[in-house]
Structure 1
Amino acid sequence: MGYSSRVATTDQRTRTRITAQLRALRFDAGSLSLNLAATVARRGETEVERLTGPERLAEWCAGVGVDLRAADRTPEFVARLHELRAAVYDVLAASVRDRLPDKASVALVNEVAAVAPPAATLRGTRVEPPVLTGAELRSLIARDLLDVLADPSRLRECDSELCRMIYVDSPGGRPRKWCSMQRCGNRAKAAQHRRKAGAAPA
């Protein structure tokens, strides 16, 4: 294999690895509604859709610990979840950037939150979570957003211009600059190191 072929193969593997990471669902934003907002990557650049269809919806539901009935695991419901996600992100971004959200976003969140989700069931000493309809899941997400906004002091936006993920910071200690040290934090530090190395005299 020639040098150019090896470089092409390496570049292709690198691109595949980065793409796989970007498209991977994240469950570390700190709450249900924030984890939904995080199903879009790279909000600071060309956005990457992570919640692409019913299969990813099932994976996301498992990751956040909710049980959605099979009848609602459809492309149509994914589209409705995308609609709610846009409103959720608009409200969250407005909170961290000290602006007012769009009125349509506020109206949609209030409308969706008005549906009462079912309570869990006690089976002996075991708590059995309910199987949710699509409307109930959307209500759970909207109500979670209202809970988050009741105390928005720990809401943060990732300092990476490419990421801009909104997350709940851990209490105590210094405020985090990045959504994850393993992701954006390490990339930022590596970029800073390269800049310093490039600026150093020969």
Structure 2
Amino acid sequence: MDAVQHDAPRRRVTARLRELRFDAGTLCLNLVATVGRRPEAPIERMGDAERLAAWCHGVGVTLEDGYDPQDVLRSLHALRAAAHDIASGAVDGHRPRQRSVDLVNRLARTEPPAPRLELTADGEWAPKGSRRLTKEALLSLVARDLIDLMTDDARRSRLTACASEVCGMLCLDSGGGRPRKWCSMRRCGNQAKAAGHRLRTSAR
């Protein structure tokens, strides 16, 4: 299970650091990004029913009525740990644990609902995330997304980690222009620029 350790050195955790991230480039990495500041001082960003609902909305999925939030969270956290183990291996070269691979393969066996076009009563096209998924279907979507990422040489080669030592968020480089160094220029990129400016100023 992707449990967040609480014995790490204490650092100031702001509301921004607890914000959910939806800019990692693909569904499985957006799940991995629900833990921030790996591995030194991990921050749980999806630890309760409210955050689970917000994450589902952010990635464009809707769970069936009557689901047990804690049950879904436990399953997503386990998949999250496996996905991080596997995806980070493509960045740092470590071999993922076999249990991570086995979990992803097992969850991917469930057949997710086929995509379909639906018109609402007022004649509008129903949004993609309007169909309600079982927990098993959601887990399968994420697992299959990870499998697609890891078995596509071109996409896998674009996997990178934020250059910030306190962030390290896994994300997909767009593949166009300059290589992606930061998870976000508005976040870690600007912080690095500000830190560099302070260093240069103090050295004068």
Is it true that 1:19 corresponds to 2:14 in the alignment? yes
| Cα deviation, residue 41, structure 1 | 0.7
| Counterpart Cα distance in 2 of 1:181 and 1:138 | 31
Match of 1:41 in 2: 36
2:24 aligns to what SS in structure 1? coil
Gaps of 5+ in 1: 1-14
Q: Which moved more, 1:186-195 or 1:137-146?
A: 186-195
| Cα deviation, residue 55, structure 1 | 1.1
| Cα deviation, residue 128, structure 1 | 6.0
| Counterpart Cα distance in 2 of 1:128 and 1:21 | 28
User: TM-score, with normalisation over the residues of structure 1?
Assistant: 0.86
Paired letter, 1:142: A
Deviations 1:108-145 (A, max 9, x none): 01111111101133335835643110011000000011
Runs of 4+ in 1 over 4 A off after TM superposition: none
Match of 1:133 in 2: 134
Count of residue correspondences: 184
Q: Which moved more, 1:106-115 or 1:65-74?
A: 65-74
Select which of 73, 81, 88 maps to 2:83. Answer: 88
User: TM-score, with normalisation over the residues of structure 2?
Assistant: 0.85
| Cα deviation, residue 52, structure 1 | 1.1
| Cα deviation, residue 75, structure 1 | 1.1
Paired letter, 2:182: W
- Give the CA RMSD over aligned residues: 1.6
Is it true that 1:118 corresponds to 2:101 in the alignment? no
Match of 2:145 in 1: 144
Q: Identify the structure with the greater helix proportion.
A: 1
Q: Assess if the C-alpha contact under 8 Å between 1:58 and 1:73 holds in 2.
A: no
Match of 1:193 in 2: 197
Select which of 84, 92, 99 maps to 1:104. Answer: 99
Paired letter, 1:174: R
Deviations 1:60-98 (A, max 9, x none): 000000111132241121111101100001101101112
Match of 1:181 in 2: 185
Match of 2:6 in 1: none
Q: 1:67 to 1:89 in 2, by over 3 A?
A: same
Match of 1:172 in 2: 176
| Counterpart Cα distance in 2 of 1:181 and 1:71 | 39
| Counterpart Cα distance in 1 of 2:175 and 2:126 | 28
Gaps of 5+ in 2: 1-11
Q: Assess if the C-alpha contact under 8 Å between 1:54 and 1:75 holds in 2.
A: yes
